[in-house]
Structure 1
Amino acid sequence: MKPPWDGGNLVVTRLMGVFKASVPLFIDVTGKKLVEETIHTHHGAADAIEAHNPTAAHDAMYLHLAYNRNMIVEGTQTKGI
Protein backbone atom coordinates (compact mmCIF):
# COMPACT_ATOMS: atom_id res chain seq x y z
CA MET A 1 0.00 0.00 0.00
CA LYS A 2 1.33 3.43 -0.97
CA PRO A 3 1.56 6.18 1.63
CA PRO A 4 -1.05 8.92 1.05
CA TRP A 5 1.62 11.47 0.07
CA ASP A 6 3.28 9.19 -2.47
CA GLY A 7 1.04 9.48 -5.52
CA GLY A 8 3.27 6.95 -7.28
CA ASN A 9 6.12 9.47 -7.53
CA LEU A 10 9.43 7.68 -6.91
CA VAL A 11 11.27 10.96 -6.36
CA VAL A 12 8.95 11.94 -3.51
CA THR A 13 9.22 8.47 -2.00
CA ARG A 14 13.00 8.59 -2.03
CA LEU A 15 13.19 12.14 -0.69
CA MET A 16 10.87 11.67 2.29
CA GLY A 17 13.78 10.69 4.56
CA VAL A 18 15.59 13.90 3.63
CA PHE A 19 12.45 15.95 4.22
CA LYS A 20 11.81 14.37 7.60
CA ALA A 21 15.40 14.97 8.72
CA SER A 22 15.61 18.54 7.45
CA VAL A 23 12.29 19.99 8.64
CA PRO A 24 13.31 20.18 12.33
CA LEU A 25 16.55 21.91 11.30
CA PHE A 26 14.69 24.42 9.13
CA ILE A 27 12.27 25.13 11.98
CA ASP A 28 15.16 25.75 14.36
CA VAL A 29 17.14 27.96 11.97
CA THR A 30 14.17 30.06 10.83
CA GLY A 31 12.34 30.31 14.15
CA LYS A 32 9.20 28.73 12.68
CA LYS A 33 8.82 31.58 10.16
CA LEU A 34 8.28 29.07 7.33
CA VAL A 35 5.26 27.26 8.77
CA GLU A 36 2.46 29.40 7.32
CA GLU A 37 4.24 29.95 4.01
CA THR A 38 4.90 26.22 3.68
CA ILE A 39 1.25 25.33 4.29
CA HIS A 40 0.08 27.99 1.83
CA THR A 41 2.44 27.05 -0.99
CA HIS A 42 1.90 23.31 -0.57
CA HIS A 43 -1.85 23.84 -0.79
CA GLY A 44 -1.28 25.87 -3.96
CA ALA A 45 0.84 23.09 -5.45
CA ALA A 46 -1.70 20.43 -4.47
CA ASP A 47 -4.55 22.48 -5.96
CA ALA A 48 -2.58 22.90 -9.18
CA ILE A 49 -1.89 19.17 -9.36
CA GLU A 50 -5.56 18.43 -8.77
CA ALA A 51 -6.42 20.88 -11.58
CA HIS A 52 -3.89 19.12 -13.85
CA ASN A 53 -1.89 22.34 -14.15
CA PRO A 54 1.79 21.34 -13.99
CA THR A 55 3.02 24.87 -14.67
CA ALA A 56 1.18 26.27 -11.65
CA ALA A 57 2.40 23.35 -9.49
CA HIS A 58 5.98 23.95 -10.62
CA ASP A 59 5.70 27.68 -9.96
CA ALA A 60 4.24 27.16 -6.47
CA MET A 61 7.04 24.80 -5.47
CA TYR A 62 9.73 26.94 -7.10
CA LEU A 63 8.58 29.99 -5.12
CA HIS A 64 8.39 27.88 -1.95
CA LEU A 65 11.95 26.61 -2.36
CA ALA A 66 13.32 30.06 -3.22
CA TYR A 67 11.59 31.59 -0.19
CA ASN A 68 12.86 28.80 2.05
CA ARG A 69 16.40 29.25 0.78
CA ASN A 70 16.29 32.98 1.51
CA MET A 71 14.84 32.46 5.00
CA ILE A 72 17.41 29.78 5.80
CA VAL A 73 20.29 32.01 4.68
CA GLU A 74 18.88 34.85 6.78
CA GLY A 75 18.42 32.54 9.77
CA THR A 76 21.93 31.13 9.57
CA GLN A 77 23.42 34.62 9.32
CA THR A 78 21.37 35.81 12.30
CA LYS A 79 22.37 32.81 14.39
CA GLY A 80 25.99 32.88 13.19
CA ILE A 81 25.84 29.35 11.80
Structure 2
Amino acid sequence: MKKEMTINESNEINGGAAATMSIMTAIGVATAVFGLTGAAFSAAAALVGLVTAGIGLYQAVNQVFGDQADKARKFL
Protein backbone atom coordinates (compact mmCIF):
# COMPACT_ATOMS: atom_id res chain seq x y z
CA MET A 1 0.00 0.00 0.00
CA LYS A 2 1.70 3.19 -1.11
CA LYS A 3 1.34 6.22 1.10
CA GLU A 4 1.67 8.95 -1.52
CA MET A 5 -1.13 9.51 -3.98
CA THR A 6 -0.67 11.07 -7.38
CA ILE A 7 -2.63 14.24 -8.15
CA ASN A 8 -4.75 12.35 -10.69
CA GLU A 9 -5.70 9.63 -8.21
CA SER A 10 -6.58 12.23 -5.61
CA ASN A 11 -8.71 14.16 -8.12
CA GLU A 12 -10.54 11.01 -9.18
CA ILE A 13 -11.40 10.13 -5.57
CA ASN A 14 -12.37 13.68 -4.64
CA GLY A 15 -14.25 14.17 -7.91
CA GLY A 16 -16.25 11.01 -7.29
CA ALA A 17 -17.10 12.17 -3.78
CA ALA A 18 -18.05 15.63 -5.07
CA ALA A 19 -20.25 14.13 -7.79
CA THR A 20 -21.96 11.90 -5.24
CA MET A 21 -22.44 14.87 -2.92
CA SER A 22 -23.91 17.03 -5.70
CA ILE A 23 -26.30 14.22 -6.67
CA MET A 24 -27.33 13.84 -3.03
CA THR A 25 -27.72 17.61 -2.74
CA ALA A 26 -29.88 17.73 -5.87
CA ILE A 27 -32.05 14.89 -4.53
CA GLY A 28 -32.28 16.66 -1.17
CA VAL A 29 -33.30 19.96 -2.74
CA ALA A 30 -35.86 18.26 -4.99
CA THR A 31 -37.30 16.39 -2.01
CA ALA A 32 -37.47 19.60 0.01
CA VAL A 33 -39.21 21.44 -2.84
CA PHE A 34 -41.70 18.62 -3.32
CA GLY A 35 -42.25 18.56 0.43
CA LEU A 36 -42.90 22.30 0.50
CA THR A 37 -45.27 22.23 -2.48
CA GLY A 38 -46.99 19.24 -0.88
CA ALA A 39 -47.36 21.20 2.35
CA ALA A 40 -48.69 24.18 0.38
CA PHE A 41 -51.24 21.95 -1.36
CA SER A 42 -52.22 20.43 1.99
CA ALA A 43 -52.63 23.89 3.51
CA ALA A 44 -54.71 25.02 0.53
CA ALA A 45 -56.86 21.88 0.78
CA ALA A 46 -57.28 22.44 4.52
CA LEU A 47 -58.26 26.06 3.87
CA VAL A 48 -60.80 25.01 1.23
CA GLY A 49 -62.14 22.43 3.68
CA LEU A 50 -62.47 25.03 6.43
CA VAL A 51 -64.22 27.49 4.10
CA THR A 52 -66.58 24.77 2.88
CA ALA A 53 -67.31 23.73 6.46
CA GLY A 54 -67.92 27.37 7.36
CA ILE A 55 -70.37 27.80 4.47
CA GLY A 56 -72.13 24.56 5.41
CA LEU A 57 -72.38 25.65 9.04
CA TYR A 58 -73.70 29.08 8.00
CA GLN A 59 -76.36 27.47 5.78
CA ALA A 60 -77.34 25.02 8.53
CA VAL A 61 -77.67 27.84 11.07
CA ASN A 62 -79.69 29.85 8.55
CA GLN A 63 -82.02 26.91 7.94
CA VAL A 64 -82.54 26.35 11.65
CA PHE A 65 -82.78 29.97 12.74
CA GLY A 66 -83.93 31.52 9.45
CA ASP A 67 -87.63 30.83 10.13
CA GLN A 68 -87.37 32.18 13.66
CA ALA A 69 -85.56 35.28 12.35
CA ASP A 70 -88.37 35.85 9.83
CA LYS A 71 -90.99 35.50 12.56
CA ALA A 72 -89.03 37.87 14.80
CA ARG A 73 -88.84 40.42 11.97
CA LYS A 74 -92.58 40.15 11.38
CA PHE A 75 -93.18 40.45 15.11
CA LEU A 76 -91.02 43.58 15.29
Question: Which range, TM-score by smaller chain?
Answer: 0.3 to 0.5
* Relative contact order, higher structure (CA 8 A, sep 6+): 1
| Bigger radius of gyration among the two | 2
Q: Which structure shows the higher helix fraction?
A: 2
User: Normalized against structure 2, the TM-score is what?
Assistant: 0.37
User: Normalized against structure 1, the TM-score is what?
Assistant: 0.35
